[in-house]
Structure 1
């Protein structure tokens, strides 16, 4: 049985275009372990057998005892809800690599599938550009996204985060936390939104900050908009306050804030 299994394992690995090292990495063992399996010197443990069956889309019976996996499609109207695994899973890994990482890796399906590549698309995606339910990388798009630039329902980023809940250097969303924060609820060094809370400058419907500008304001320097008319706040007054309190403010940012009231 060991030799029969060994031959099948080697055939399936080659059909999938994987080296022993690739296979070992995919199921979490050493290359030497795979080599011993294929030479019949040892036999994988049950959890590794299950991982091999999932990777090659075959049944345990077929891989171990030679019983073929039923592949025929269900007839129309059948009440059997069983779906072959290979119909709910798709994987593509480009042969082109960069520093050993595939240029493109797509790994999606029903279950937990991880894609790792320069461009990664998967249930869980990790890459320079990643798209998935959970996305991690340079540019990340997903329900949960984390990276340098992230867009998602829950978004975390070092540079720019956009989402229902966003946190990053620049954050924009329903609730945003960042150095520059824009949102319904915004919290930051500079905050802009319906409810804006800032350590320096806050602008919003309700604004709380050292310099606070809005309909309802609280701060050391509070400028309240009169009669819903933003023109009641003068640009030169805002500019003078920023120059007085924060003279080292990044000029493009201070110019943009002042321009809001011109």
Structure 2
């Protein structure tokens, strides 16, 4: 029975593209322990057997006693596992980039992690990542964090967009950034329904060193009339910004000025 288990363990590990070190780390044992299991020198304890069954999505009867599994064989490189309660699909491309799979898809009911240049998974980590939790370069997920992030909760170094967004440029229901756009926006430059900025705030309610909007609060304020930003002349805005921030980045200055009547 031990040799049958050992062969199955080795086969399932290889199907998932895991090394003995990877498997050992996943279930909390040493690599030597996995090596002994696969060579038939020893046998895992019950809690480790349960962890193995969860990882490979097979029943203990199948793994230990040889009862028919509900797994289905698929083309090399992909793996779909189905049980009464759970469906799992994984694909890992053979093509790699600096040792990382070009594409890794790992999804199902549970916490499955995909790591690749392009990663799609419940948890996705990659240059381009898509998942409930997405981490990396370009990220799309319910919770996303990376260089550019889109999600219900988006955190980014450059651009973040979502229900709650934080980044250098942030856009969302609640936005926090150097440039912030949203219902509630907080930043160095803030634009939105409620805009709070250290420098320039523009919105329905605006609070900043320079504040422009319906209700304004700041060192320098310009109140719009009849909810019409065109009621403020662009030259007023340009002159005020040039006075307070003479070294302001010109494209940003021109973009702000363009919001008002020329």
Q: TM-score range by the shorter chain?
A: 0.7 to 0.9
TM-score (normalised: structure 2): 0.88
Q: Which residue of structure 2 aligns with residue 76 of structure 1? A: none
State yes or no: 1:64 paired with 2:55: no
Q: Which residue of 2 aligns with 1:119?
A: 118
Q: 1:24-82: per-residue Cα shift (whole Å, max 9, x none)? A: 4554544433221111122223343223223333211121122334679xxxxxxxxxx
Q: Secondary structure at the match of 1:122?
A: strand
Q: In the alignment, what sits opposite 2:217?
A: 218
Write out the 4+ residue segments of structure 1 that deviate beyond 6 Å after TM superposition.
Answer: none
Query: Is the alpha carbon distance of 1:16 and 1:155 closer, same or farther for their aligned partners in structure 2, counting shifts above 3 Å?
Result: closer
Cα contact 1:105–1:116 (8 A) shared by 2 = yes
Alignment partner, residue 201 of structure 1: 200
Residues 22, 173 of structure 1: alpha-carbon distance in 2 compared, 3 angstrom cutoff = same
Alignment partner, residue 7 of structure 1 = 7
Summarize deviations over 1:72-105 as a string: whole Å, max 9, x none. Answer: 9xxxxxxxxxx71696110111112222221111
CA apart distance, 1:228 = 2.8
> Does the 8 Å CA contact 2:58/2:71 hold for their aligned counterparts?
no
Q: Tell me: CA distance 1:17–1:107, structure 2 relative to 1, closer, same or farther (3 Å).
A: closer
Separation of aligned partners in 2, 1:17 and 1:211: 58
Cα deviations across residues 169-222 of structure 1 (Å, max 9, x unaligned)? 100001101110000111110000111111100001111111001111111110
Measured after TM superposition, the shift of residue 12 of structure 1 is: 3.2
Q: How many matched pairs?
A: 252
Corresponding residue number in structure 2 for 1:52: 52
Quote the Cα distance in structure 1 between the aligned partners of 2:95 and 2:28.
23
1:205-256 deviation line (CA, Å, top 9, x unaligned) = 1111110011111111100012333222111111111111011111110111
- Equivalent position of 1:245 in the other structure: 244
The whole-number CA distance in structure 2 between the counterparts of 1:9 and 1:221 is 71
Q: Per the alignment, do residues 228 and 4 of structure 1 end up closer, same or farther by CA in structure 2, a change over 3 Å counting?
A: closer
Distance in 2, matches of 1:156 and 1:150, equals 6
- State TM-score, norm by structure 1: 0.88
1:166 aligns with 2:172: no
Q: CA separation in 2, counterparts of 1:47 and 1:21?
A: 19
Question: C-alpha distance in 2, partners of 1:20/1:113?
Answer: 19
| Cα contact 2:139–2:145 (8 A) shared by 1 | yes
- Structure 2 runs not aligned, ≥5 long: 73-81
Aligned to 1:77: none
Pairwise CA distance, 1:128 = 1.1
Would the aligned equivalents of 1:57 and 1:85 in 2 still touch at CA under 8 Å? no
SS of 2:54 mapped into structure 1: helix
Pair 1:234-2:233 in alignment? yes
Contact 1:208/1:218, CA 8 A, preserved across alignment: yes
- The 8 Å contact of residues 152 and 162 in structure 2, kept in 1 or not, is answered as yes
- SS where residue 238 of structure 2 aligns? helix
**TM-superposed deviation, 1:21:** 4.5
Residue 36 of structure 1 aligns with which residue? 36
